[in-house]
C-alpha cells in the first residue's frame, strides 16, 4: 500500500470513529446532567445519634443534626469528610431537631470545620438541668455567628428546588393537613397513648421534604403521643417514599398510626449497634403496608438475626467495630430513587 493510500485509510477509519465518540460524549453529558439534577442524601454514622446531609441540585446543603460531642471529634470529622465527598464547602442550613447530646452536641466541633450560614431550631430548650443548659448554651454561642431561624409548624425553608415544610416544632404539630394530605387515618383506631414526654424529644422539629415527585419525612425524635397529634384522626402528612426512622428505632416512637399511614417504600434507620433498632419498632416498620426495604446504619444487637435487615443493607456490621460507614440516597424528580451502601457497593433502585 502506498503512503498516500495508508493516509486515506487512516483518515477514513478516524472519520468512522467520530460518530461513536460523539455518541459516547453525548451519553456522558446526559449522565453528568442527570447527576447535577439529583438530590443526594447522606446518612452519616454518628453511632446512634443523627446527622443527615442533603445536597440539592443547586448545590445548597442542609444538615439535620450533628451527632455527639467528644470522642476526639469523631462525629464532626465524619460529617466534614462526607461534606468534602459531596463537594460541600459550607452548611447553608443546619436544622437542629432538638437539644439532646446525640443531635446538637457536635455543633461546636463541626462549626470549627465548616462555615454554617443559617441555624434552624424550635427555640428555647425545655430541659434546664446543668447538662441540658450547657448543651443549649454551647449551641447558642455558635448561633450568634450566623443567622438564626426559629420555626413553627407550617413554615417552609427557602431551599431551591425543594419543598421543605416544618410539620412539628416546640411541642406543636400542624393544625391542619398539608394541601395534598388529610385523609382519615384508619390506623388511629388501635393507637394507645403512652405517658406524656416532658423532654426535648417531644419538642423535635420535624420536616416533610418534597423533590419533584419524591417525598421523605424526618421527625427527629418526636415521641409517641405527638405522632398521634400529627396523624390522627386525619393524616396531615400524606404518604411518602422514604421514612427516616424516628428516634433511631426506639419503641417510644414509630407507632403504627404514623408509620403505616405514611406508607413508605423504604425506611432508613440511624440506629447504633446498642442503641435503637428495637424489636417493636422494627416489627412495626416491617409490617407497614407497601414497605419494600429497611436500611440500617448498624446491625442492631437488640434485634438479633430475626429483626435486622439483610447484610447488604446495613452500613456497619458488628464485626467491623467503629467503621463509620454511611448510607447514600439519590432521588430523581420523577420520583425514582436508589439507596447505596458504600461499605459493599450494593445499590438498589426503587
HSE-up of residue 16 (Cα within 13 Å, Cβ side) = 6
pLDDT band of residue 36 (cuts 50, 70, 90) is confident
Encode pLDDT of 194-212 as tens digits: 999 999 999 999 999 999 9
Q: List CB contacts of 145: < 8 A, sequence separation 6 or more.
A: 111, 116
Q: For residue 173, which phi and psi values (nearest 5 degrees)? A: -130, 175
End-to-end CA distance of the chain: 57
Residue 31: pLDDT above 90? no
| pLDDT for res 35 | 56
Higher-pLDDT residue of 2 and 257 is 257
Residue 20: pLDDT above 50? no
| pLDDT for res 323 | 86
pLDDT band of residue 13 (cuts 50, 70, 90) is very low
Sign of the Cα torsion 314, 111, 164, 220 reads: positive
Residue 1: pLDDT above 80? no
Q: Is the pTM value of this prediction over 0.85?
A: yes
pLDDT band of residue 319 (cuts 50, 70, 90) is low
| pLDDT for res 318 | 80
Q: For residue 187, which phi and psi values (nearest 5 degrees)? A: -80, -5
| pLDDT for res 308 | 97
pLDDT band of residue 74 (cuts 50, 70, 90) is very high
Q: 118, 142 in Cβ contact below 8 A?
A: no
| pLDDT for res 21 | 46
Cβ count near 50 (within 10 Å): 25
| pLDDT for res 187 | 98
3-state secondary structure the chain: CCHHHHHHHHHHHHHHHHHHHHHHHHHHHHHHHHHHCCEEEEECCCCCCCCEEEECCCCCEEEECCCCCCHHHHHHHHHHHHHHHCCCCCEEEEECCCCCHHHHCCHHHHHCCCCEEEEEECCCCCCCCHHHHHHHHHHHHHHCCCEEEECCCCCEECCCCCEEEEEEECCEECCCCCCCCCCECHHHCCCCCCCCCCCHHHHCCEEEEEECCEEEEECCCCCHHHHHHHHCCECCCCCCCEEECHHHHCCCCCCHHHHHHHCCCEEEECCECCECCCHHHHHHHHCCCCCCEEEEEECCCCCCHHHCCCHHHEEECHHHCCCCCCEEEEECCCCCEEEEECCCCEEEEC
The mean pLDDT value for 275-289 works out to: 97
Residue 8: pLDDT above 90? no
Q: 201, 219 in Cβ contact below 8 A?
A: no
Q: 192, 69 in Cβ contact below 8 A?
A: no
Nearest one of 292, 298, 305, 276 to 337, comparing CA atoms: 292
Q: Say how far apart CA 270 and CA 64 lie, in whole Å.
A: 12
Q: What is the CATH number of domain 38-349?
A: 3.60.15.10
Q: How far is CA 326 from CA 129, 138, 181, 236, 344, in A?
A: 33, 27, 32, 31, 11
The mean pLDDT value for 44-71 works out to: 97
Q: Where are the domains of the chain?
A: 38-349
Encode pLDDT of 219-231 as tens digits: 999 999 999 999 9
The mean pLDDT value for 224-251 works out to: 98
The rounded percent of the chain whose pLDDT value lies above 90 is: 88
The mean pLDDT value for 70-78 works out to: 96
Encode pLDDT of 128-152 as tens digits: 999 999 999 999 999 999 999 999 9
Q: How far is CA 241 from CA 21, 74, 103, 265, 275, in A?
A: 38, 31, 24, 5, 25
Q: 101, 135 in Cβ contact below 8 A?
A: yes
Amino acid at each position: 500500500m502506498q503512503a498516500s493510500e495508508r493516509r486515506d485509510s487512516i483518515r477514513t477509519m478516524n472519520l468512522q470513529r467520530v460518530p461513536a465518540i460523539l455518541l459516547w460524549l453525548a451519553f456522558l453529558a446526559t449522565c453528568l446532567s442527570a447527576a447535577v439534577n439529583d438530590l443526594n442524601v447522606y446518612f452519616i454514622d454518628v453511632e446512634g445519634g443523627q446527622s443527615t446531609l442533603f445536597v440539592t441540585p443547586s448545590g445548597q446543603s442542609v444538615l439535620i443534626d450533628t451527632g455527639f460531642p467528644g470522642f476526639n471529634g469523631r462525629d464532626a470529622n465524619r460529617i466534614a469528610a462526607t461534606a468534602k465527598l459531596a463537594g460541600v464547602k459550607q452548611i447553608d442550613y443546619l436544622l437542629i431537631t432538638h437539644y439532646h447530646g446525640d443531635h446538637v452536641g457536635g455543633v461546636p466541633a463541626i462549626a470549627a470545620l465548616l462555615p454554617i450560614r443559617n441555624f434552624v431550631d424550635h427555640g428555647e430548650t425545655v430541659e434546664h438541668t446543668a447538662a441540658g443548659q450547657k448543651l443549649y448554651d454551647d449551641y447558642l454561642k455558635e448561633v450568634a455567628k450566623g443567622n438564626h431561624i426559629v420555626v413553627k409548624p407550617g413554615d417552609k425553608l427557602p431551599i431551591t428546588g425543594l419543598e421543605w415544610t416544618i410539620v412539628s416544632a416546640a411541642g406543636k404539630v400542624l393544625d391542619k393537613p398539608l394541601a395534598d394530605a388529610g385523609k382519615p387515618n384508619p390506623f388511629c383506631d388501635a393507637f394507645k397513648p403512652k405517658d406524656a414526654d416532658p423532654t426535648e424529644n417531644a419538642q423535635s422539629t420535624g420536616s416533610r421534604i418534597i423533590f419533584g415527585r419524591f417525598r421523605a419525612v424526618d421527625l427527629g425524635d418526636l415521641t409517641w403521643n405527638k405522632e398521634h397529634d400529627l396523624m390522627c384522626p386525619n393524616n396531615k402528612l400524606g404518604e411518602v417514599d422514604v421514612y427516616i426512622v424516628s428516634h433511631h428505632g426506639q419503641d417510644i416512637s414509630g407507632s403504627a398510626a404514623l408509620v403505616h399511614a405514611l406508607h413508605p417504600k423504604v425506611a432508613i434507620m440511624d440506629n447504633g449497634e446498642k442503641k435503637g433498632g428495637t424489636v417493636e419498632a422494627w416489627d412495626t416498620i416491617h409490617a407497614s403496608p407497601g414497605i419494600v426495604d429497611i436500611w440500617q446504619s448498624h446491625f442492631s444487637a437488640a434485634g438479633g438475626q430475626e429483626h435486622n435487615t439483610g447484610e447488604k443493607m446495613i452500613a456497619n456490621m458488628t464485626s467491623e467495630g467503629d467503621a463509620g460507614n454511611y448510607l447514600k440516597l439519590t432521588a430523581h424528580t420523577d420520583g425514582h430513587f436508589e439507596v447505596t451502601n458504600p461499605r459493599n457497593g450494593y445499590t438498589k433502585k426503587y
